[in-house]
Amino acid sequence: MATHENTEDGGREAPPWKDLGAGLITGAADDDPSGIATYSQVGAAFGYGMLWCVFLTMPLMIAIQAISAGIGRVTGHGLMDGMRLHYPRKLVYALLALIFIANVINLAADIGAMGAALQLLIGGPALLYAALFAVLSLLLQVFIPFTRYAPILKVLTLSLFAYVATVLVIDVPWRAVLKSIVLPPISWSAAYAVGLVALLGTTISPYLFCWQASEEVEEIETSKRRKPLQDAPQQAPSALRRIGIDTTVGMIFSNLIAFFIILTAAVVLHAHGKTDIQSSAQAAEALRPLAGELAFALFAAGIIGTGLLAVPVLAGATAYAAAGAFGQRSGLEHKPHEARFFYGVLIGSALLGIALNLTPLDPIKALYWSAVVNGVAAVPLMVAMMLMGSSNKVMGEFTMPWPLKLFGWLATAAMAGAVAVMFATWGK
């Protein structure tokens, strides 16, 4: 057991559940309404044919998120802030532009999906509900300090258990499911390749890297004892252990929920010939006549719950990235007048997300373009992260160990391959 001196918070080792924070929230936010739509699409279109992908993405996601968290904890800087210090400004600004565009489109899609889900449950105006959800998320972020807001986000992660409950109320042929995992029924077609790209792109997204690294920095700034590991190397054993537990649990949770969503769509929709699903709300609505009111209600409620978690993460990640790129003060613990640029971007991105729902923009096309831009932005950002994590100049004595290097570069290669496939199948 670590001593008083080498624990990051100056006391005894915390019990495992106390270690869960930024990683758990990040993993849960990955299963946002846009992600639910993608998982529902591939489950409806290919049945059990893509369940195996979850077990492929899990170790890659754990590695790349642990690297982003490690960079924040070691250096005391968010990703874009660190890139601004070590890489050409033009590269940083170009990446920021891609992240901003993708995040705003993603915000618009998630906000719209929440409104549509509540409309399915109780009727009424979907656009009004969407705007109210977005404003509620903004108010919580702006007016509640980080130390009190983080526990709210933790509680919201429980909403994803709606998708576990959904599986429990439908009849799942588990033998066929297990067989499809061991011997995947892969389809060698352009449609299957595009579905694989979409699944990978929605699972490994740039906003997740920015958010988790920045939350590690936020924890340092709000703690009386935590310091960047470069300045307090005695805290490293405890800090790196915590990040490992937090990130592993968070990403396993994220991928298991994705598994259950794909499984639900495969068992209920694909099996009944409903193979063309375009949105998370449409997936919920399609469940009603096939799986009953309870499955429908659980699925729709899950969209609202995960949206309430994902919208602040998306807006916050956008604000952290922008503030870091321009060297501005950032952090949810600061009052708005203390970090005007940060809160300006946070509020502005959310308002743009609301505004896009008032335009004739097709939400399905919005999701598609969000995936395209996310994929394009992810590859150079992941390359930059891998180089930063391997650099003694950036990380000092805490460069990433070889297992993280291996799986981090595998994740980067997988994303690069996905982008190559996306462009190769463009328009097909």
The DSSP-derived string for 306-324 is HHHHHHHHHHHHHHHHHHH
Confidence of residue 1 (pLDDT cuts 50, 70, 90): very low
For domain 22-425, give the fold.
Answer: Amino acid/polyamine transporter I (1.20.1740)
CA–CA separation, 36 and 50 (whole Å): 14
Q: Is 4 helix (H, G, I), strand (E, B) or coil?
A: coil
Predicted local confidence at residue 4, as pLDDT: 42
pLDDT tens column, 300-343: 898 999 999 999 999 999 999 999 999 999 998 889 999 999 99
pLDDT tens column, 84-124: 999 999 999 999 999 999 899 899 989 999 999 999 999 99
First to last CA, the chain: 57
Confidence of residue 2 (pLDDT cuts 50, 70, 90): very low
Whether residue 367 contacts residue 34, with contact meaning beta carbons closer than 8 Å, is answered with yes
CA 290 to chain centre: 30
CA–CA separation, 15 and 6 (whole Å): 16
Whether residue 80 contacts residue 321, with contact meaning beta carbons closer than 8 Å, is answered with yes
Amino acid, res. 406: L
As separate numbers, helices (DSSP H) first and strands (DSSP E) second, the chain gives 18, 0
CB proximity list for 347: less than 8 A, separation 6 or greater: 138, 142, 315
Q: Where are the domains of the chain?
A: 22-425
Minimal CA–CA distance to 56: which of 422, 425, 410? 410
Whether residue 370 contacts residue 102, with contact meaning beta carbons closer than 8 Å, is answered with yes
Over residues 44-53, mean pLDDT = 92
Confidence of residue 364 (pLDDT cuts 50, 70, 90): low
Residue 238 is encoded by which pair of tokens?
């405890």
Amino acid, res. 54: V
More confident of the two residues 299 and 428: 299
Report CA torsion sign: 179, 183, 188, 189.
positive
